[in-house]
Amino acid sequence: MKKKIIAANFKMNKTDEDIKKYFAVFLDLINGLKNKTSYDGLDAELIFAPPFTSLLETHKIIEPYLDFIKLSSQNVYSEKSGAYTGEISIDMIKACGCVYTIIGHSERRNIFKESDELTGKKVEAAYTGGGVTPILCVGENLDIRKQNGQERFVENQLSAALNSIKGRNTSSLIVAYEPVWAIGTGMSIKADDGEAMHGFIYDYLKTGFSIGELRVIYGGSVTEANIEELIGKPHIDGVLVGGASLDPQSFYNIFKLAVK
Ligand code: 13P
User: Which H helix or E strand runs over 205?
Assistant: helix 191-206
CA 167 to centroid of ligand 1, rounded, Å = 32
Task: Evaluate: CB of 240 within 6 angstroms of ligand 1.
Answer: yes
Query: What is the predicted pLDDT for the residue at 37?
Result: 47
Ranking 39-48, 139-148, 242-251 by mean pLDDT, the lowest is 39-48
The residue-averaged pLDDT of 164-193 equals 94
Q: How many angstroms separate the alpha carbon of residue 197 from the centre of ligand 1?
A: 17
pLDDT tens profile 200-230: 999 999 988 999 999 999 999 999 999 999 9
The per-residue pLDDT for 256 is 93
Domain encompassing residue 113: 4-259
CATH of the domain at 64: 3.20.20.70
Catalytic residue of the set 178, 195, 198, 235: 178
What pLDDT does residue 41 have?
Answer: 59
CA of 242 to the centre of ligand 1 (A): 4
Count of structural domains within the chain: 1
Q: 39 pLDDT exceeds 70?
A: no
d(CA 155, CA 193): 16
The answer, yes or no, to whether any atom of ligand 1 lies below 6 A from the CB of 9, is yes
Of 59, 105, 198, 235, which residue is the catalytic one? 105
User: What was the pLDDT predicted at 34?
Assistant: 62
pLDDT in tens, 8-19: 999 999 999 999
* Residues 59-83 pLDDT 10s: 999 999 998 999 999 999 999 999 9
Is residue 178 part of the annotated active site? The answer reads yes
Whether residue 151 lies in the annotated active site: no
pLDDT of residue 59: 98
